[in-house]
């Protein structure tokens, strides 16, 4: 343990404006998670996943403070995450996220205007809004290069090691908690809790990747020059020319590769149709593009 803290303070990152932005994202994401938990999940006994869900079950029987239990339960996972998910930078940001979540989880109900009984009794609405808001909170914390602690850490490790999507990682790591919630609350509530986990995972992926979803276009043509000229001049988009060969005919073909926004897909298809009606086009999807003409590579 002495070695852990010595390495932690020796390697901690220096202050930067980018770091300040990251902590702002983490703060916003952590507060959203606490709000979703207190407004939609706890009042209706809809269990959150991981350590938070276990704390909720224990609170149901004992009345112990939720935030305090979440903070204590994260200590061993915090050390594990420091080992496998980025060292000091991860440790500081995750510890901060866990602290903010724990603090607001216990203090929000103390506010005189806060609806401690929740906003609605409808389980469907609570599952839907709780999952979406929690997932957005997760995504903001991820964009701040931290995690929300708990089995969130284990989910990130699964994602990094075996490239498992975030939504599936949550289902794997939180299955035991949902089973215990079914025994404690009801199996109906447990089913809604599973729905929350899935929705929050999808929302986390969306908010992590942002709205920068673009289209990749592959154009196989015998007349690369007119097609390229139209894309470069009329659309002002870059084109990369690749050389390929047809497997059946053995003939050489030019393959043009370009990246456009969703609104430009019809435009580029129209230009290709004018320049080479016999061209073959494949339109794909990319979740993020960094570089000239799109989002800057450097922060």
Band of pLDDT at residue 124, cut at 50, 70 and 90: very high
Q: What is the pLDDT of residue 18?
A: 61
Band of pLDDT at residue 44, cut at 50, 70 and 90: very high
What is the enclosing helix (H) or strand (E) of 169?
helix 166-173
Band of pLDDT at residue 52, cut at 50, 70 and 90: confident
Of the ranges 8-12, 19-23, 74-78, 279-283, which is most confident?
279-283
Average pLDDT over residues 4-10: 50
> Token match 């609104």: residue?
263
pLDDT above 70 as % of the chain: 78
User: Which domains occur in the chain, in start order?
Assistant: 2-209 (no CATH), 214-286 (3.30.70.120)
Q: Are the C-beta atoms of 114 and 108 separated by less than 8 Å?
A: yes
Query: What would the two tokens of residue 62 be?
Result: 């004992």
pLDDT, tens only, 126-181: 999 999 999 999 889 888 877 777 766 766 666 666 666 666 666 677 778 888 89
**Nearby residues of 254 by Cβ (< 8 Å), 6 or more positions away:** 220, 221, 222, 224, 241, 242, 243, 244
pLDDT, tens only, 56-99: 999 899 989 999 999 998 887 777 667 665 556 667 888 899 99
Q: How far apart are CA 125 and CA 151, in angstroms?
A: 25
Band of pLDDT at residue 215, cut at 50, 70 and 90: confident
Band of pLDDT at residue 11, cut at 50, 70 and 90: very low
What is the enclosing helix (H) or strand (E) of 53?
helix 50-62
Q: Are the C-beta atoms of 256 and 219 separated by less than 8 Å?
A: yes
Count of CB atoms situated within 10 Å of the CB of 1: 6
pLDDT at 273 over 70: yes
pLDDT at 199 over 80: yes
Query: What would the two tokens of residue 81 be?
Result: 């995450």
Band of pLDDT at residue 8, cut at 50, 70 and 90: very low
Band of pLDDT at residue 298, cut at 50, 70 and 90: low
DSSP E strand stretches across 53-109: none
Average pLDDT, the chain: 82
Average pLDDT over residues 221-234: 89
Count of CB atoms situated within 10 Å of the CB of 14: 5
Q: What is the pLDDT of residue 40?
A: 95
In the sheet that holds 240-245, the strands lie side by side as 240-245, 252-260, 214-221, 280-286
pLDDT, tens only, 22-43: 899 999 999 999 999 999 999 9
Q: What is the pLDDT of residue 262?
A: 76
């Amino acid at each position: 343990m002495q070695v852990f803290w010595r390495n932690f303070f020796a390697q901690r990152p220096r202050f930067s404006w980018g770091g300040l932005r990251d902590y702002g994202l983490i703060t916003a994401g952590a507060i959203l998670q606490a709000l979703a938990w207190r407004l939609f999940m706890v009042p209706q006994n809809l269990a959150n996943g991981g350590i938070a869900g276990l704390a909720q079950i224990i609170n149901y029987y004992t009345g112990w403070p939720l935030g305090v239990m979440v903070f204590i339960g994260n200590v061993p996972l915090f050390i594990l995450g420091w080992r496998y998910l980025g060292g000091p930078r991860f440790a500081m940001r995750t510890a901060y996220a866990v602290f903010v979540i724990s603090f607001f989880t216990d203090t929000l109900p103390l506010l005189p205007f806060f609806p401690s009984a929740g906003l609605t009794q409808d389980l469907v609405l609570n599952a839907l809004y709780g999952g979406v808001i929690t997932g957005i909170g997760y995504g903001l914390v991820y964009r701040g290069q931290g995690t929300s602690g708990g089995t969130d850490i284990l989910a990130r490790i699964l994602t990094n090691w075996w490239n498992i999507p975030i939504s599936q990682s949550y289902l794997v790591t939180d299955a035991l908690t949902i089973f215990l919630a079914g025994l404690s609350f009801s199996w109906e509530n447990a089913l809604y809790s599973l729905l929350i986990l899935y929705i929050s995972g999808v929302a986390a992926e969306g908010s992590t990747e942002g709205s920068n979803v673009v289209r990749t276009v592959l154009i196989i043509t015998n007349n690369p020059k007119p097609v390229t000229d139209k894309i470069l001049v009329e659309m002002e988009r870059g084109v990369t020319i690749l050389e390929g060969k047809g497997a059946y005919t053995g003939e050489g073909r030019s393959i043009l590769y370009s990246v456009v926004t969703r609104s430009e897909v019809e435009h580029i298809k129209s230009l290709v149709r004018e320049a080479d009606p016999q061209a073959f086009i494949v339109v794909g999807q990319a979740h993020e593009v960094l570089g000239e003409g799109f989002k800057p590579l450097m922060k």
